[in-house]
């Protein structure tokens, strides 16, 4: 599908003036605004309130939902826990579930600040650093190793010492660095170079890092074995190297307040008997097996194409203020960097611009390389200026909103932002916030589009000096 032409066409036929919907999200948003009356709650108070608040890892692997189908493995477990709590209870004591998605490395702090009733991280937590006021549950998975995951074409090593001098990219919140530090002490004793840790961009969850390994953009990552196995089922170019697991093994748990003894007891009872349904990953596989996956965009042929279109894109970037590498990323997704590409509805060229779309942004020679690049850049700049200029939006989120509006149209996106606010999510954050509403209501189309272009942009940005 070619999105620029479609989005601009909707604007051009007079459905709405371009700037009209921008007033739908106007209030400042503070996700950490604290209520002094909040405190740790035990099960009796939770039942009285009618709502169980669960702090959950914001990754799609842990808590994703697509068009009403839960694909997050931790969401499925938490939903089963709510059913367990409600079984045999009168209506007055039944609870509904409220998931509060947060970055993994903010979950403990959020529970300490009474934002939820317990934590369902979906990944390993460093239990040695858990505050005294919090208590881990009984494990639901024991002795979980952090295994090396690589692209299947990379050289296969047999010993950790062979990773000396390598760079391993980790998703934010990973507990691997402590084990890497121990490994590096061992390597130093052998007079070998250390393994370097490169933290993934904040927009990348564990599944995004794995997709970049699958594409060959990243060489290696360390992740929990159950997560690696789940994603290797849909990302077929991943190779799991259990012989290169980091030293130590860990338990996967939930975490509740120490004082919430009734809640702790029910959590432990539930986890003792819980077994995932054999077909619970069916919806997950159906969603991800048919999704677009990023490719390696830095091969010799692609670098040659970038060199040819670079002058036109840099000229458009200079006029509009849009980073030329962001334009490369959009063009890679839209046309595979082919200025002669033809698509549906008359979509043409590098950025797949239609005649109506080109006219809307004042470009007459849209079939030329320079005109096509300028039309796409002008539209992105217009979206930024009229919808996403607020200082409350961080720069990397601003680009994501521009891409989402480029894909689905700005008015639909503004409606999703308003719904995110109503749900207690941050309307000024696309990743893991507004994108969650988009997944639930529209499916993975726009979410996958923004995610893919973002990955290409991050990839090109890492190589900025060589492009």
3-state SS string for 197-236: EEECCCCCCHHHHHHHHHHCCCCEEEEEHHHHHHHHCCCC
Q: Has residue 36 been placed in a domain?
A: no
Q: Has residue 95 been placed in a domain?
A: yes
Q: What is the DSSP string of 238-272?
A: EEEEGGGPPSS-EEE--EEETT-HHHHHHHHHHHH
Q: What is the pLDDT of residue 36?
A: 56
In 60-174, which ranges are continuous DSSP H helix?
60-63, 73-86, 107-112
Domain range for 197 is 144-249
Q: What is the pLDDT of residue 357?
A: 79
Whether 18 has a pLDDT exceeding 90, the answer reads: no
Instruction: Note whether 393 and 428 are within 8 A (CB).
Output: yes
Note whether 149 and 136 are same-domain residues.
no
CATH number of the domain where residue 76 is located: 3.40.190.10
Give the tens place of pLDDT for each residue, 233-271.
999 999 999 999 999 889 999 999 999 999 999 999 999
Using DSSP's 3-state secondary structure scheme, residue 156 falls into coil
Note whether 319 and 345 are same-domain residues.
yes
For residues 214 and 286, give the distance between their C-alpha atoms in angstroms, rounded to a whole number.
19
Long-range contacts of 459-466 (CB under 8 A, 24+ apart): 459/212, 459/217, 459/297, 459/298, 460/297, 460/298, 460/325, 460/328, 460/329, 461/325, 463/298, 464/325
Instruction: Note whether 99 and 78 are within 8 A (CB).
Output: yes
Q: Has residue 412 been placed in a domain?
A: yes
What does the block give as tokens for 422? 């109503």
Tokens 């891409």, residue?
A: 403
Select the more confidently predicted residue: 347 or 119: 119
Note whether 306 and 277 are same-domain residues.
no
Whether 183 has a pLDDT exceeding 90, the answer reads: yes
For residues 448 and 453, give the distance between their C-alpha atoms in angstroms, rounded to a whole number.
9
Q: What is the pLDDT of residue 35?
A: 52
> For 200-227, what is the mean pLDDT?
97
Cβ atoms within 10 Å of 272's Cβ, excluding its own? 10
Using DSSP's 3-state secondary structure scheme, residue 5 falls into helix
Long-range contacts of 436-439 (CB under 8 A, 24+ apart): 436/58, 436/64, 436/65, 436/101, 438/404, 438/408, 439/60, 439/64, 439/65, 439/66, 439/67
Instruction: Note whether 100 and 424 are within 8 A (CB).
Output: yes
Give the tens place of pLDDT for each residue, 284-296.
999 998 899 999 9
Q: Which helix H or strand E contains 379, and what residues bound it? A: helix 369-387
Note whether 47 and 159 are same-domain residues.
no
**What burial letters (b/e) apply to 238-264, b meaning 16+ CB within 10 Å?**
bbbbeebbbeeebbbbbbbbeebebbb
Count of domains for the chain: 3
Note whether 119 and 215 are same-domain residues.
no
Classify burial at 59, counting beta carbons within 10 Å of its beta carbon; exposed 0-12, middle 13-18, buried 19 or more. buried
What does the block give as tokens for 198? 């490169």
Select the more confidently predicted residue: 308 or 290: 308
Whether 23 has a pLDDT exceeding 80, the answer reads: no
Nearest to 352 by CA among 406, 308, 409: 406
Q: Which residues are CB-neighbours of 100 under 8 A, at least 6 positions away?
A: 53, 54, 55, 56, 110, 115, 116, 424
Give the tens place of pLDDT for each residue, 364-404.
999 999 999 999 999 999 999 999 999 999 998 999 999 99
Q: Has residue 34 been placed in a domain?
A: no
Q: What is the pLDDT of residue 21?
A: 38
Q: Has residue 378 been placed in a domain?
A: yes
Note whether 158 and 139 are same-domain residues.
no
Q: Has residue 35 been placed in a domain?
A: no
pLDDT band at 30 (very low <50, low <70, confident <90, very high): very low
Note whether 322 and 359 are same-domain residues.
yes
Note whether 101 and 170 are same-domain residues.
no
Give the tens place of pLDDT for each residue, 222-231.
999 999 999 9
Note whether 322 and 403 are same-domain residues.
yes
Give the tens place of pLDDT for each residue, 138-181.
999 999 999 999 999 999 999 999 999 999 999 999 999 999 99
Give the tens place of pLDDT for each residue, 398-428.
999 999 998 899 999 999 999 999 988 999 9
For residues 214 and 263, give the distance between their C-alpha atoms in angstroms, rounded to a whole number.
40
For residues 37 and 41, give the distance between their C-alpha atoms in angstroms, rounded to a whole number.
11
Whether 29 has a pLDDT exceeding 50, the answer reads: no
Q: Has residue 242 been placed in a domain?
A: yes
Give the tens place of pLDDT for each residue, 63-110.
999 998 999 999 999 999 999 999 999 999 999 999 999 999 999 999
Q: Percent of the chain at pLDDT above 90? A: 83
Cα 335 vs. chain centroid, distance in angstroms? Answer: 24
pLDDT band at 52 (very low <50, low <70, confident <90, very high): very high
pLDDT band at 273 (very low <50, low <70, confident <90, very high): very high
Cβ atoms within 10 Å of 390's Cβ, excluding its own? 13
Note whether 64 and 81 are same-domain residues.
yes
For residues 69 and 316, give the distance between their C-alpha atoms in angstroms, rounded to a whole number.
41
> For 437-454, what is the mean pLDDT?
96
Q: Has residue 339 been placed in a domain?
A: yes
Nearest to 56 by CA among 140, 143, 145, 116: 116
Q: Percent of the chain at pLDDT above 70? A: 92
For β-strands 238-241 and 146-151, DSSP reports them as: antiparallel
Q: Which helix H or strand E contains 169, and what residues bound it? A: strand 167-170
For residues 384 and 313, give the distance between their C-alpha atoms in angstroms, rounded to a whole number.
18
Q: What share of the chain is helix, strand, coil (3-state, %, to 5)?
A: 50, 15, 35
Note whether 154 and 268 are same-domain residues.
no
For every residue of 319-362, which 3-state class applies, written as one string? HHCCCHHHHHHHHHHHHCCCCCCECHHHCECCCCECHHHHHHCC
Local structure of residue 370 (DSSP, 8 states): H
Note whether 57 and 178 are same-domain residues.
no
């Amino acid at each position: 599908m070619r999105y620029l032409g479609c989005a601009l066409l909707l604007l051009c036929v007079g459905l709405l003036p371009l700037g009209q919907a921008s007033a739908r999200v106007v209030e400042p948003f503070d996700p950490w605004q604290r209520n002094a009356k909040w405190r740790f709650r035990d099960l009796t108070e939770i039942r009285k309130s009618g709502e169980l608040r669960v702090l959950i890892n914001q990754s799609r692997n842990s808590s994703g939902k697509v068009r009403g189908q839960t694909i997050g493995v931790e969401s499925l477990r938490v939903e089963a826990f709510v059913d367990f709590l409600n079984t045999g209870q009168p209506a007055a004591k039944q609870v509904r579930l409220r998931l509060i998605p947060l970055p993994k490395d903010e979950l403990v702090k959020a529970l300490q600040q009474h934002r939820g009733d317990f934590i369902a991280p979906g990944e390993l937590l460093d239990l040695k650093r858990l505050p005294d006021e919090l208590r881990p549950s009984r494990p639901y998975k024991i002795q979980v190793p952090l295994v090396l995951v690589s692209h299947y074409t990379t050289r296969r090593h047999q010993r950790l010492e062979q990773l000396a001098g390598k760079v391993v990219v980790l998703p934010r919140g990973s507990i691997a660095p402590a084990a890497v530090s121990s490994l590096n002490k061992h390597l130093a004793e052998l007079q070998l170079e250390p393994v370097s840790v490169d933290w993934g961009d904040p927009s990348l969850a564990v599944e995004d890092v794995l997709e970049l390994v699958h594409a060959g953009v990243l060489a290696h990552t360390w992740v929990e074995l159950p997560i690696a196995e789940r994603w290797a089922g849909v990302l077929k170019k991943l190779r799991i190297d259990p012989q290169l697991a980091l030293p130590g093994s860990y338990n996967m748990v939930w975490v509740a307040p120490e004082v919430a003894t009734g809640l702790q007891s029910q959590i432990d009872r539930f986890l003792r008997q819980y077994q995932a349904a054999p077909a619970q990953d069916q919806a997950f596989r159906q969603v991800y097996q048919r999704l677009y996956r990023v490719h390696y965009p830095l091969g010799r042929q692609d670098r040659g194409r970038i060199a040819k279109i670079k002058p036109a894109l840099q000229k458009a970037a200079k006029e509009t203020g849009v980073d030329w590498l962001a334009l490369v990323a959009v063009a890679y997704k839209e046309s595979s960097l082919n200025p002669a590409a033809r698509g549906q509805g008359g979509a043409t060229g590098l950025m797949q611009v239609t005649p109506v779309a080109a006219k809307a942004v004042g470009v007459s020679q849209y079939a030329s390389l320079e005109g096509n690049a300028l039309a796409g850049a002008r539209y992105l700049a217009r979206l930024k200026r009229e919808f996403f200029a607020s200082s409350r939006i961080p720069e990397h989120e601003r680009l994501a909103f521009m891409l989402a509006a480029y894909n689905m149209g700005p008015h639909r996106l503004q409606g999703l932002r308003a719904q995110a606010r109503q749900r207690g999510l941050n309307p000024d954050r696309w990743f893991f916030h507004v994108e969650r509403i988009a997944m639930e209501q529209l499916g993975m189309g726009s979410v996958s589009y923004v995610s893919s272009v973002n990955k290409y942009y991050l990839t090109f940005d890492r190589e900025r000096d060589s492009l």
